[in-house]
Structure 1
Amino acid sequence: MDAQPSPARRAALVFIFITVLIDVLSFGLIIPVLPHLVQQLEGGDIEHAAYWVGLFGMVFAGVQFLSSPIQGALSDRFGRRPVILLSCLGLGLDFVFMALAPTLAWLMVGRIISAITSASFSTANAYIADVTPPEGRGKAFGMIGAAFGLGFIVGPLVGGLLGGIDLRLPFWGAAVLALTNFAYGLFVLPESLPPEKRAPRFDWSQAKPLASVALVRRYPQIADLIVVMLLATSTHYVYQSTFVLYGDVRYGWGPTGVSYVLAVVGVLSVIVNAGLVGRIIKRLGEQRALSFGLACGVVGFAIYGFAASPWLFYVGLPISALWAVSQPAAQALMTREVGADAQGRLQGAIMSLVSLTGIVAPMMYASTFGFFIGKRAPVYMPGAAFFLAAMVLACAWFLAVRHSRRAATVEPATA
């Protein structure tokens, strides 16, 4: 454990929180305008624009799969600070690049660069593992979740307002945020990984994407937890791939109604991550908190699928919000099993594997939704995608319970 003074550690955690918040804000700013900019560059053709937006998502996830383990290995060898700062700088310059992109091809190049630089989220997680004692990591990871929730409340709302003035204005706003973040970190962010705890050399074999699988083999005790995270993360894509259309088809919400619901989801996410995660993990312990969070997610998605009226959908919101407890609990459990010199590789490997779900999951949920509201469906079921997400999350819950039982049998033997 790093011997950083307590005030320095707090300042470091504050910066990491702000880093993640600003990065999420910057991405949130462009969420409401990127499809419209694609449509504009495509000549106004909505069909082709939808194809390009889907392609952008697949490429973004694929590039993150390749780049995350490299960033993780670099941070283990050279420290977290230079990797995080360079990522912030690169992200800011890339938003300028996208703001000026004259064609779809150049905009695609910009998305590829942003996928590489946004991989710094894995390094931020490794930083937290460096400066936080094991018993406090669940709460710290929960604060990162709160940054995501807050960023996705404010970002899209501001991005929509700026986009109403000019479609490229949110990109400039995102660039200002990211570059300000770089300047702030240049003066404030301390290094969290001392030289004596760094990897002795940069190993390209550990930076290859498939080295993620090798890392899992090296730490078989976290294999179940990584699969749990992959399954849980894949279900997040049911929101972005179907939620807008689902709200329109089932409740007639339209874009405004959906935006209000998303704002409520973001507020609940902040409340749970910032106010409840640490308390729940402290009270239940990391193992039971993981199972509890996943179970809440299963129930929440099932309610969404059954909800024939908006009020029943609203009932599911606070229940599914408690699902957020599961990720920091899983992160905290995994960081206990890996040494300081491998935390960056662990987080990079996790993010790399998680990126694979971004290639497969959106199409899986979107096609399920489309099939069950179409003419070929054996039964009309607009909530089918949410039922599928509930089943996937139920599998994650089963694995979490199995891991908990295995851990319970190992601990007495090693005590």
Structure 2
Amino acid sequence: MNRPLFIIFSTIALDAIGIGLIFPILPSLLRDITHSTHIAMYIGILSSLYAAMQFIFSPVLGVLSDKFGRRPILLLSLAGSAFNYVFLAYSHNLLLLLIGRVIAGMTSANMSVASAYLVDISKPDQRAKYFGLMSAVFGAGFIIGPILGGILGEYWLRLPFIIAALLAGLNFVVAYLALPESKTSIPPKDSATSLNPFKVFSSLRSISSVFPLIATFFIFSATGEAYAVCWALWGHATFQWNGFGVGLSLATFGLCQMLVQAFIPQHASKRFGDRNTVLIGIACSCIALSIMAVAQQGWVIFAIMPIFALGSIGTPSLQALASQKVSPEQQGQFQGIIASTISLASMFAPLLFSSLYFQFQSAWPGAIWLSVVLIYILSLPIVLRSIKPSLATSK
């Protein structure tokens, strides 16, 4: 692995650790701030606010990275993340916490830039592998982050924010010292309107057959938000997990997903084809979610983690196909469109799933996972169109 690739993966891993530290403590933090036990809606609001900022700033950062280079935009976002974690550590009311999530959404909208960086330094036939590795190192960060957050939160509820700030600072130093610029071409002389996230989406009209792919990214992201919103609440209600239990379960999933993303996507695509790989992933997700809905003992969840993690094997192939739709000069903008689409789903899905969980929690908390299965089933025609053979056979 060359040095730029190693550094960008290290940056993604450190970023994931910082994010993962927060998940196990968020329910307790909200109970402490709001003095309420009904905090599912607050989690949904915070998640949607965070996603709204990412929707706005993902294409903006992508376009800026096309204009000025990937490296300075990544450094700017990392510095902002470090500042934000310090801010959150001293946020003692709901308003400050909401402001912190706004800043977090702005500064962490850098996956579009990281994705464009990978496209810059890789050949088309390597991209499914590299996008899989990017997801794998992100999963590796979740092995460390949630379990550390659960442990540290037992000592002091705000200690994970301090550690996250230190990790973000370390992330910045590593990138500043060792990450070279990947973009060598002359930036296009676009008008300032390209920084408008809504205007950026109009460029999709000139890209053939891309709408089904974008819709598939939207669907996958929307279903993924159910885990972020409901996992800790469901684990506590069903299995009486504390912060450590939630962190351990998320870390186990991170380990399984890391192994799956690192070793399986490229081989699955070659053996089954991109189309069938995506369908196999959806089937694995639906099987795991159905088991989770009826499980009454925590060990069952850990036992099905490998099946659950296999649900993500099709995403790298979708990312690789999408990257081939535009020229190198537009990669930052296009990756920003994808990231913004994902964020758009994340704006609405947390409110949907938090509302559904609020309805289910007293009678059957696990029913929330059957709602995710239903969404997969209803959206299957769109997914099938996005991975039809004419696209899936493009390597």
TM-score between both structures, scaled by the size of structure 2: 0.90
Q: Tell me: CA distance 1:62–1:154, structure 2 relative to 1, closer, same or farther (3 Å).
A: same
Q: 2:207 aligns with which of 219, 231, 248?
A: 219
Q: Number of residues paired by the alignment?
A: 394
Contact 1:142–1:328 (Cα < 8 Å) also in 2 = yes
Deviation at 1:47, TM superposition (A): 4.3
Q: Tell me: CA distance 1:110–1:122, structure 2 relative to 1, closer, same or farther (3 Å).
A: same
- Within 2, Cα distance between the matches of 1:173 and 1:381? 36
**Counterpart residue identity of residue 200, structure 1:** K
- The match for 1:387 is 370
**Counterpart residue identity of residue 194, structure 1:** T
- The match for 2:68 is 78
Alignment RMSD, CA only? 2.7
Q: How does 1:122-137 map to 2 (within 5 A)?
A: 122-137=112-127
TM-score between both structures, scaled by the size of structure 1: 0.86
Q: Tell me: CA distance 1:104–1:243, structure 2 relative to 1, closer, same or farther (3 Å).
A: closer
- The match for 1:17 is 9
- The match for 2:292 is 304
Q: 2:167 aligns with which of 169, 177, 183?
A: 177
Q: Tell me: CA distance 1:170–1:369, structure 2 relative to 1, closer, same or farther (3 Å).
A: closer
Deviation at 1:75, TM superposition (A): 0.8
CA deviations 1:328-379 (Å, max 9, x no partner) are: 11100100111111111111111112112222212322333343455xxxxx
Q: How does 1:177-196 map to 2 (within 5 A)?
A: 177-196=167-186
Q: Tell me: CA distance 1:49–1:305, structure 2 relative to 1, closer, same or farther (3 Å).
A: closer
Larger Rg: 1
- Within 1, Cα distance between the matches of 2:238 and 2:37? 23
Q: Tell me: CA distance 1:250–1:169, structure 2 relative to 1, closer, same or farther (3 Å).
A: closer
Relative contact order higher in (CA < 8 Å, ≥ 6 apart)? 2
Unaligned runs of 5+ in 2: none
Unaligned runs of 5+ in 1: 1-6, 375-379
Q: Secondary structure at the match of 2:21?
A: helix
- Within 2, Cα distance between the matches of 1:188 and 1:328? 26
- The match for 2:154 is 164
- The match for 2:81 is 91
Q: 1:366 aligns with which of 354, 372, 386?
A: 354
The answer to whether 1:284 aligns with 2:272 is yes
The answer to whether 1:403 aligns with 2:386 is yes
- Within 1, Cα distance between the matches of 2:297 and 2:89? 41
- Within 1, Cα distance between the matches of 2:152 and 2:393? 55
Q: How does 1:230-245 map to 2 (within 5 A)?
A: 230-245=218-233
Q: 2:252 aligns with which of 264, 272, 296?
A: 264
Q: Tell me: CA distance 1:403–1:103, structure 2 relative to 1, closer, same or farther (3 Å).
A: closer
CA deviations 1:99-132 (Å, max 9, x no partner) are: 2345443333222111111001111011111111
Deviation at 1:93, TM superposition (A): 1.9
- Within 2, Cα distance between the matches of 1:171 and 1:296? 34
Deviation at 1:164, TM superposition (A): 2.9
Q: 1:30 aligns with which of 22, 38, 59?
A: 22
**Counterpart residue identity of residue 189, structure 2:** P
Percentage of pairs with the same residue: 33
Q: Secondary structure at the match of 2:253?
A: helix
- Within 1, Cα distance between the matches of 2:148 and 2:209? 43
